Amino acid sequence: MTSIRRCFSFTFYETNGEQGAIETITTASAMQAQAQTLRNQGKRIVLVPTMGFLHEGHLSLMRLGLAHADALVVSIFVNPTQFGPGEDLEAYPRDFDRDLALCRDEGAAVVFAPQPEEIYPAGFQTHVDLESLPKHLCGKSRPVHFRGVATVVTKLFNIVSPHMAVFGEKDFQQLTVIRRMVRDLNLPVGILGGPTFREADGLAMSSRNAYLTPAQRPAALSLIQSLHLAREMAANGETDARRIVEAATGMINAHPEARIDYVAVCNPQTLEDLTRLDGPARMFLAVRVGRARLIDNMAIN
């Protein structure tokens, strides 16, 4: 039986009569104060930023973070500034009580769960915008997305004061943007990338997988199948990136439910399209299947 007692911006969760080690914080000032307390105690803070509706992929990032942390902080915030017009901000799946229980079970010390007006108060007008990296891949069809990501992550770093933050490689462009931002702005935060966590059939775990119907599953699986095809072609000596893209595109287009946003082979550091595989190369995919916009990526050579 779980009881809850509220104290200002904190929520303490007690289980079986004993107070647990997790607390939720909803205001920036309270989170900054807690972070300063943890640092004064000599504790190493690791942050895992999320938009909630947690799945095993998020939990794998928490476990990775815990290996480097004295205090793990998980943020749960559906960031409105990274959604464009007509995207699924209002429909984005949410289940805060379940998320909080999972964070507690994984050993998080703090859940930071602010409301939008706490992060973007009235009159907010300051944003973080990168010049080049957001213009590739997802940034072409989601022009406001990475400005929203860079802004909210910068704010989270200033509020939580982590020594390190963990992001998943499934959102490889996001990870690349954040690493560049941290270098460019001299932010004192180490960035750790966690490998893509997949479901048993190979589909990259995503909160948006909840949108898929059973009939749409084969189309969704064409993403991982096309990535394996690309890797196999590269292993067999294919160096023409255009041929690899054409083969992957054909595999995905064999499913009428799948609508390709992009299929690209890119330099993993600059995200620029490659014509030949004469160095490190990574394939990136974004495909709409029903209501779900799915992304995936894989190093192919």
Per-residue pLDDT, 285: 98
Contact partners, residue 293, CB within 8 Å, separation at least 6: 208, 261, 286, 287
Q: Which two tokens stand for residue 32?
A: 């900054």
Q: What is the pLDDT of residues 197-234, one digit of tens each?
A: 999 999 999 999 999 999 999 999 999 999 999 999 99
Q: Which two tokens stand for residue 284?
A: 């990136």
Closest CA to 23 of 95, 122, 110: 110
Per-residue pLDDT, 12: 44
Q: Tell me the average pLDDT across 227-248.
A: 98
Per-residue pLDDT, 1: 34
Whether 2 has a pLDDT exceeding 70, the answer reads no
Whether 15 has a pLDDT exceeding 80, the answer reads no
Q: Which of 3-17, 114-128, 161-175, 229-243 has the lowest mean pLDDT?
A: 3-17
Closest CA to 178 of 161, 159, 197, 153: 153
Q: What is the 3-state secondary structure (H, E, C) of the chain?
A: CEEEEEECCEEEEEECCEEEEEEEECCHHHHHHHHHHHHHCCCCEEEEEECCCCCHHHHHHHHHHHCCCCEEEEEECCCHHHCCCCCCCCCCCCCHHHHHHHHHHHCCCEEECCCHHHHCCCCCCCCCCCCCHHHCCHHHHCCCHHHHHHHHHHHHHHHHCCCEEEEEHHHHHHHHHHHHHHHHCCCCCEEEEECCCECCCCCECCHHHHHCCHHHHHHHHHHHHHHHHHHHHHHCCCCEHHHHHHHHHHHHHCCCCEEEEEEEEECCCCCCECCECCCCCEEEEEEEECCEEEEEEEECC
Q: Structure pTM?
A: 0.92
Whether 140 has a pLDDT exceeding 80, the answer reads yes
Per-residue pLDDT, 284: 98
* Residue 136 annotated in active site: no
The band of 10, judged by pLDDT with boundaries at 50, 70 and 90, is very low
Share the mean pLDDT of the chain.
Answer: 93
Q: Which two tokens stand for residue 55?
A: 């799945």
What percentage of the chain carries pLDDT values higher than 70? 93
Determine the Cα–Cα distance for residues 258 and 123; give it in Å rounded to an integer: 41
The band of 18, judged by pLDDT with boundaries at 50, 70 and 90, is very low
Q: Which two tokens stand for residue 22?
A: 């997790």
185, 89 contact by CB (below 8 A): no
Given the residues 55, 58, 228, 255, the one annotated as active site: 58
The band of 53, judged by pLDDT with boundaries at 50, 70 and 90, is very high
Q: Tell me the average pLDDT across 165-182.
A: 98
Q: What is the pLDDT of residues 247-270, one digit of tens each?
A: 999 999 999 999 999 999 999 999
Per-residue pLDDT, 20: 56
All structural domains of the chain, each given as residue ranges with its CATH number in brackets, are 2-194 (3.40.50.620), 207-299 (3.30.1300.10)
